[in-house]
A and B are shown apart, each in its own frame.
Chain A
């Protein structure tokens, strides 16, 4: 059904004359050629043919077609690539949508990237799908985002606007693949199956954002009703499991954010209440409990072309006693109040053609860290090269970043844009 949905959009775009209220006024064609390789530097490997020193390797060609007119717009971003690790060619439709306006509202239908919230690599009300494997292997940052097939409605006045998104097809987060990343597995060796939400009308995810700018502060309220995108692992029997099922429990998120100039820089604040609808009492250890999440950020430019960003993030779990009481013995327990800090440093040189940066995560509660040093040089307007490191570590091999300790890697990217 998903491919039918997408097929309709693609066909309409391809034919360019089906029921689309767009006058052929301008067709813009852009894209890039890219080579992107990522090498693990620890010498440790997961078993299997794809568990070598290369975590990632590919050659990619992206084509962007953008046709705009007075009444609407068609946009397609398609990637053709060769996966050098699995040695197979593939295709990925990253975006394919139609924009049009009806009265005071704008409509976007098709595959699109959705991003909300004010966090920098920290997500509270940004409940949309992410590809953590891409992020941890130093791929260009746009690949952290997994596109979703959705219908989006934009409406509002000059002072208050709203976005309403309906996503009929569930898209889970993409976790680092087990055949390429060494990571903690509480059910090591047990066969797995995945049970995604059924393709039913009632399972359509809904997200809304109401936003506006007052006194220079961009302020927003958020609502989401759908599913957890990180799989919850359900074992068929607690003592000696023979099958583990990845499920996606129901979730609602209510939140708010604000961001604006203050204290000589940009200050941002965001909060969200994660309502675990499938287990509000917190008795099922396989389903994450409800939680309150918050972040505060500050960004400043102390001197020309140098920017510093700081963030503090926390996750306060509810029904912690119930969580502890039902957690199977031997399982690593999560802190009641997990906290995380981030630091971003960016310095530009040579008329902003050379960028040297560092992004660092550190959790004082998990006692783990993740460092992302990066250097990128634009050789010309069309050609850039970059090197990105991903360095993980922590006191325990069971925490979010600590488990990835053996996967420190170095990624190289070359891209020619046209």
Chain B
């Protein structure tokens, strides 16, 4: 059965792939598609520097803003390091946050609170923890292990003007969803939409990539929204600036830099 679906998907992918887009035709397997999707969405470039604006909006329209700089570096074997610096709101201005991300094991996380001059280790489960009160979880920000779900191709369909392949992911490890459907662009492999379903099978969270720009050759989702259908709360993330391959050194991802953020990378 599974083989048959993969075969169908392969046929339709090959059928839709136009000349000059060989990458789509190569992706024959759901896991491989998810892998490619994660690679373009979370791992583009050797490193990344982005200025991000996050708007949290409640059902009744009340808004909160978070502005931050994100620095990210890729390492061999799928490891990544993230350094986040918060510019606003005022009470968290100067707060820094660092993540060492490992495939298939718990990440290391550090938080520096400037008012206390204190570095803390953060115990948080990726899948279940909201990132700074937003509708995004830690996993939504830095990616989930491919092996933590089983993936299958459900169908291919057009989403707006883009041709997508729809993938269903069912967790085999701890997750805050029982099922996820992802609409993955057949050309760029960016996820254009994700739907999260709870254990009762009800839709509760929707992700959309609202604006995609070409940044130094990497298709980049520069505006994205996560909406909690149940609470009506939503979070919009805008990449105001984003640059790849800026040459981040490993010395940025240290406790010393956490306490004393590297000015030149934050502006």
Task: Mark the stretch among A188-196, A224-232, A258-266 that contacts chain B.
Answer: A258-266
Using C-beta atoms within 8 Å of the partner chain, give the interface range for chain A: 35 or more
Contacts of B110 in A (CB 8 A): 218
Q: Cβ of A4 < 8 Å from any Cβ of B?
A: no
Quick one: which of A58-77 are within 8 Å of B by CB? 66, 68-70, 73
Interchain nearest-CB distance for A35 vs B (Å): 16
Query: Across the interface, do A304 and B128 meet the contact criterion of CB distance under 8 Å?
Result: yes
Contacts of A68 in B (CB 8 A): 263
Given A68-B263, A218-B121, A381-B64: A158 touches B251 (CB 8 Å cut-off): yes
Binds B, one of A44-52, A242-250, A278-286, A295-303: A295-303
Does B186 interact with chain A (Cβ within 8 Å)?
Answer: no
> What is the interface size of chain B, counting residues whose CB is below 8 A from a CB of the partner?
42
Q: Is the CB of A115 within 8 A of B117?
A: yes
Query: What is the CB-to-nearest-CB distance from A175 to chain B, in angstroms, rounded to a whole number?
Result: 21
Q: Given the interface contacts A351-B133, A351-B233, does A161 sit within 8 Å of B254 by beta carbon?
A: yes
When chains A and B are docked, how far (Å) is the Cα of A218 from the Cα of B260? Answer: 17
In the complex, A202 has a CB within 8 A of chain B: no
Could you tell me if B56 and A351 are in contact, using CB atoms closer than 8 angstroms?
yes
When distances are taken between beta carbons in the complex, the residues of chain B under 8 Å from A305 are 129-130
| SS class, residues of chain A in contact with chain B | strand
The total of interchain contacts (Cβ-Cβ below 8 angstroms) comes to 104
Q: Which residues of B contact A158 (CB under 8 A)?
A: 250-251, 254
User: CB-defined interface of B92-127 with A at 8 Å, one 1/0 digit per residue?
Assistant: 011000001000001010100001111001111100
Asked whether any CB of chain A lies closer than 8 Å to the CB of B90, the reply is yes
Interface of chain B residues 226 through 267 with chain A (CB within 8 A): 233, 250-251, 254-256, 260, 263-264, 267
Report chain A residues within 8 Å CB of B115: 142
Main secondary structure of the interface of B (DSSP, over half): loop
* B65, B115, B135, B251, most chain A CB atoms within 10 A: B115
- Asked whether A353 is an interface residue with its Cβ less than 8 Å from the other chain, the reply is yes
Chain A hits for B130, CB < 8 A: 304-305, 351-352
Indicate whether A352 sits within 8 Å of B121 (C-beta atoms), given known contacts A30-B90, A141-B116, A142-B116.
no
A381 to B130, CA, bound (A): 17
Smallest distance from the beta carbon of B20 to chain A beta carbons, Å?
43
Q: Which residues does chain B contribute within 8 Å of A384, judged by CB atoms?
A: 91
Q: A261-B108, A301-B125, A301-B128 are in contact. Are A213 and B90 (CB under 8 A)?
A: no
Could you tell me if A28 and B93 are in contact, using CB atoms closer than 8 angstroms? Answer: yes
Q: Are A73 and B128 in contact (CB under 8 A)?
A: no
When A115-B116, A115-B117 are in contact, do A218 and B255 touch as well, CB less than 8 Å? yes
Is there contact, CB below 8 Å, between A380 and B100?
no
Q: Does A418 contact B (CB under 8 A)?
A: yes
Complex: how many Å from CA A154 to CA B65? 34
| Per-residue A-contact encoding for B43-71, CB less than 8 Å = 1, 0 else | 00000000000001010001011000000
Contact B90 A417 (CB under 8 A): yes
Does A392 sit within 8 A of B, measured CB to CB?
Answer: no
Which one, B132, B135, B176, B233, contacts A304 given CB within 8 A? B176
Q: Which of A28, A73, A218, A301 contacts B129 (CB 8 A)?
A: A301
Compute how far the CA of A299 lies from the CA of B121 in the bound complex, rounded to whole angstroms.
Answer: 9
* Contact yes or no, B121 A266, CB < 8 A: yes
Contacts of A380 in B (CB 8 A): 62, 64
B244, chain A: closest CB distance, angstroms: 23
Residues of A within 8 A of B124 (CB): 301
B89 contacts chain A at the CB level, 8 A cutoff: yes
Q: Which of A26, A69, A260, A351 contacts B121 (CB 8 A)?
A: A260
B260: nearest chain-A partner, CB-CB: A106
Specify which of A73, A161, A300 is in contact with B256 (CB 8 Å cutoff): A161
Contacts of A115 in B (CB 8 A): 116-118
Residue A125 at the chain B interface, CB threshold 8 Å: no
The answer to whether B121 and A381 touch across the interface, beta carbons within 8 angstroms, is no
A367: CB under 8 A from chain B?
A: no
Residue of A nearest to B264 (CB): A70
User: Are B121 and A259 neighbours in the complex by a CB distance under 8 Å?
Assistant: yes
Shortest CB–CB separation between residue A98 and chain B, in angstroms? Answer: 13
A265 touches B123 (CB 8 A): yes
Chain B residues closer than 8 Å to A351, beta-carbon distance:
56, 58, 130, 133-135, 233
The answer to whether B129 and A154 touch across the interface, beta carbons within 8 angstroms, is no
Q: Which residues of A contact B250 (CB under 8 A)?
A: 158
Closest residue of A by beta carbon distance from B64: A381
Report the nearest B residue to A157, measured CB to CB. Answer: B251
Set of chain B residues within 8 Å of A218, measured between Cβ atoms: 110, 121, 255
CB distance from B252 to the nearest CB of A (A): 10
Whether A362 sits at the interface, judged by CB under 8 Å, is no
Give, as a whole number of angstroms, the nearest-CB distance from B75 to chain A: 13
Q: Which residues from B are CB-within-8-Å of A216?
A: 100, 108
Residues of B contacting A30 with CB < 8 Å? Answer: 90, 93
- Give Cα A114 to B118, complex, Å: 9
Shortest beta-carbon distance, A89 to chain B, in Å?
A: 23
The answer to whether residues A417 and B91 also contact, given A70-B263, A352-B130 and a CB cut-off of 8 A, is: yes
- Residues in A with CB closer than 8 Å to B64 are 353, 380-381
Are B255 and A211 in contact (CB-based, < 8 A)?
Answer: yes
Chain B interface residues toward A at CB < 8 A? 56, 58, 62, 64-65, 88-91, 93-94, 100, 106, 108, 110, 115-118, 121-125, 128-130, 132-135, 176, 233, 250-251, 254-256, 260, 263-264, 267
Contacts A/B (CB < 8 Å), 30 sampled: A26-B267, A32-B90, A32-B91, A99-B260, A113-B116, A115-B117, A142-B116, A145-B116, A154-B256, A156-B256, A158-B251, A161-B254, A161-B255, A211-B255, A213-B255, A218-B255, A266-B123, A301-B129, A303-B128, A304-B129, A304-B176, A305-B130, A348-B133, A351-B135, A351-B233, A353-B64, A381-B64, A381-B65, A417-B91, A418-B90
- Given A142-B115, A305-B130, A351-B56; 20 other pairs, CB 8 A cutoff: A30-B93, A66-B94, A69-B263, A115-B116, A115-B117, A115-B118, A158-B254, A161-B255, A261-B121, A301-B123, A303-B128, A348-B133, A351-B130, A351-B134, A352-B130, A352-B133, A380-B62, A381-B64, A382-B89, A415-B91
Nearest 9 CB-CB pairings of A with B: A352-B133, A381-B89, A417-B90, A113-B117, A266-B123, A304-B128, A351-B133, A417-B91, A299-B123
